[in-house]
Amino acid sequence: SGKIGTGMFNLVDHDGTVRINTLVHPTRPIPADVTRVHGITNLMVQNAPTWKEIWPEVLAVLSGRKVGIYNAEFDQISFQVG
pLDDT digits over 15-37, tens only? Answer: 989 999 999 998 889 889 888 98
The residue with greater pLDDT, 4 or 59, is 59
pLDDT at 49: 93
End-to-end alpha-carbon separation of the chain, Å? Answer: 5
Nearest one of 34, 32, 33, 24 to 4, comparing CA atoms: 24
- Is the overall model pTM greater than 0.75, yes or no? no
In order of 9, 14, 37, 65, the CA distances from 51 in angstroms are: 9, 23, 21, 20
The whole-number pLDDT of residue 43 equals 95
Q: Tell me: the pLDDT tens digits for 38-78?
A: 899 999 999 999 888 998 999 999 999 888 777 767 666 55
